[in-house]
Amino acid sequence: MDRRIKAVGARNAYFPLFIPKAHLEREAEHVEGFSPELAVVTIAGGKTLDEPIVVRPTSETIIGQYMAKWVQSHRDLPLLLNQWANVVRWELRPRLFLRTSEFLWQEGHTAHASAADASAYAARILYDVYADFMINVLAIPVQVGRKSAAERFAGAVNTLTCEAMTRDGKALQMGTSHELGQNFARAFDINYLTPSGQRHLAWTTSWGTSTRMVGGLIMVHGDDDGLRVPPILAPVQVVVIAVKAEVLAAAASVVADLQAVGIRAELDERVDVAFGRRAVDWELKGVPVRIELGPRDLAAGSAMCVSRVLGTKTPVPLGQLVVAVEKELKSCQDALLAQALAERDARTVDVATVGEAVEAMTVGWARIPTSKMGEDGERLLAESAVTVRCLQDAHGGVPASESQPDMYALLARAY
């Protein structure tokens, strides 16, 4: 993710954890949206503070203050920043990875000379950074679209989103990219001198993903045997298990051969622990490929190659093991994406009424023309805990505007 963020021009920075409450209040819609979740410090150093300090729920306001100082001329734009940080949002009902009071994330903040440039950059983040990472690394197929006015980020004029389906048919918002218009630029006086000598307000964006992606990985790919980790992402792609002490040297040689071609391989040399117990341990951890090597395998000049994703066990000659493992890792990556995509598509139905949409929630997601929802459709859906995850055009892409005709709403119950 960090490599992708840098590839689109953003530079990493770091900003303060504590934000004066007055900063948040400068953008009224923003503070109203976050007010129920704020953690506020009123006492520090044994004394009551003159002004309360907020533990950052997000950093638009503190970064906006600095952008106002750093942006003076059109030559300073675009200003593209990102920070990896912890934030705090006081959750009433925490869920591990998905909604915790403190979580880790990256948050990007940018300033631009035009609305068109800000809009294009927000879309680039959505597609080239987020969706690309989620699909091609996490192997999680995501639906992209615009948030409805009721669901978009507080203070934004447009929110773009990546939505994933978990194994129980619910939706999980995996990442969002926001066009903030000139709202924050106006609140913090982020303006620049044009080539003609005029002062104009900048247009800003913000965008973020968090440890929620870890939850997504578990809930999209996990099965009754534990984790299934995509090989591209897996810290250990292959584990080589030495069944008996007499094959330890040969097993170590296999690990060395795999590491020599860039495969992240690890040796399990715990021969004092039962083989079955060790095999189960690695299955629970979701290591994509397991190589089992025992005395009889070594005598036959082969090893057993076990796929965590495909569930296959194949004897492979030792001389062909590296090539076989490389192919197996690619097969595992492709299979995880294909399985998740097939599951999502099979559990997404087209409906024509709000009532049909609510019934469809027993299956998974529903897709309805926005013209069929009516003005009260979103409110009626909310009464059944169903939300509009995003708005899409007829081809499943991001609509050019929220008033575009022939749009569809993707509906689901969500985490």
Residue range 380-396, pLDDT digits in tens: 999 999 999 999 999 99
pLDDT tens profile 70-112: 999 999 999 999 999 999 999 888 899 998 999 999 999 999 9
Task: Report pLDDT digits (tens) over 109-129.
Answer: 999 999 999 999 999 999 999
Q: Give residues with Cβ within 8 angstroms of 50, minimum separation 6.
A: none
Tokens of 126: 């959505």
Helix axes 212-221, 321-346, angle to 10 degrees: 90
- Range with the poorest average pLDDT among 150-154, 197-201, 347-351: 150-154
The reported pTM is: 0.93
184 CB-contact burial (10 Å; exposed 0-12 / middle 13-18 / buried 19+): buried
Domains 2-221 and 348-412 share a fold: no
Q: Which amino acid is at 249?
A: A
pLDDT tens track for 282-311: 999 999 999 999 999 999 999 999 999 999
Could you give the angle at the alpha carbon of 8 between the alpha carbons of 4 and 10, nearest 5°?
95
Which CATH superfamily groups domain 2-221? Bira Bifunctional Protein; Domain 2 (3.30.930.10)
From CA 132, how far away is CA 124, in angstroms rounded? Answer: 10
Q: Tell me the CATH number for domain 348-412.
A: 3.30.110
Please, what is the Cα angle at 5 between 113 and 120, to 5 degrees? 35
Fold of 238-335: Rossmann fold (3.40.50)
| Spans of all domains in the chain | 2-221, 238-335, 348-412
The DSSP call for residue 80 is E
**Tell me, what's the pLDDT at 85?**
97
For residue 248, count other CB atoms closer than 10 A to its CB. Answer: 15
One-letter amino acid of 69: K
